Amino acid sequence: MSERGRRAALLAEILGLEPAMHRAMGPARAKDWVDVDLTMSQLKILFVLHSSMIPGGADGLRVSEVARLLGVTLPTITAVTDKLVERGLARRDEDPADRRQTVCRLTSGGEQLIDRLMAGHRAHTEALLGYLSADDLAIVLESMRLLIGAAESMHTGAMPSEFGVQDSRPQGPAEPAVMNAER
């Protein structure tokens, strides 16, 4: 089989397993989600704002960027964001680069809510990883690094290479984060 054919077969198998992976990785603490008194639109905005957060750097998105990412109009984003601001989950700040623009950001309350919602999934993932050997964890870690590198390349507009992506692993020694089985 050619490299192109092998790659196509592997992609088809990976995509075929995706629904099972989502089912396996999906369970979380339902109570955390049931207790959230937000609309789906409000949750979407919170998650979009959370995804824009850069550790140790600037965060937030212009209202127009949020609208574009969610595929809705500016008035829709403004109305939904108003509710999030009223609830203390988001805030609007003047864009220092362009005073005519407004940047939306999560407040600490918004960050805490998203972190709480994600914690259930994280706990489930940690428990699941506890069933893997150290060698298997190293494979998962390497795979995650490759996917993160591919996602970063895709988001920066880089063109994919013909048969793979550039090595995205951090330089220098890196030890896999092994879960403590006693937790």
Q: What per-residue string of b and e applies to 150-176 under the rule 16 or more CB within 10 Å gives b?
A: beebeeeeeeeeeeebeeeeeeeeeee
Instruction: Tell me, yes or no, whether 49 and 108 share the same domain.
Output: yes
Residue type, 29: R
Instruction: Tell me, yes or no, whether 42 and 75 share the same domain.
Output: yes
Say how far apart CA 61 and CA 92 lie, in whole Å: 10
Say how far apart CA 162 and CA 5 lie, in whole Å: 13
Instruction: Tell me, yes or no, whether 47 and 105 share the same domain.
Output: yes
Within a domain: residue 105? Answer: yes
* Per-residue pLDDT tens listing for the chain (183 residues): 888 899 899 999 999 988 888 777 766 566 667 778 899 999 999 999 998 876 544 678 889 999 999 999 999 999 999 999 999 999 999 888 888 888 999 999 999 999 888 887 788 888 889 999 999 999 999 999 999 888 888 877 777 765 554 444 444 444 434 333 333
As for how many domains the chain has, the answer is: 2
Q: Mean pLDDT of all residues in the chain?
A: 81
Within a domain: residue 2? Answer: no
Task: Specify the pTM.
Answer: 0.65
Share of the chain above pLDDT 70, in %: 81
Residue 42 belongs to domain with CATH number: 1.10.10.10
Instruction: Tell me, yes or no, whether 160 and 102 share the same domain.
Output: no
pLDDT digits (tens, 9 = 90+) for 125-163: 888 899 999 999 999 999 999 998 888 888 777 777 655
The burial of 90, by beta-carbon neighbours within 10 Å (0-12 exposed, 13-18 middle, 19 or more buried), is given as buried
Range of the domain at 172: 130-183
Q: What share of the chain is helix, strand, coil (3-state, %, to 5)?
A: 55, 10, 30
Picking from 173, 18, 70, the residue whose alpha carbon sits closest to that of residue 80 is 70
Of the residues 82, 113, 144, which one is the last residue of a structural domain? 113
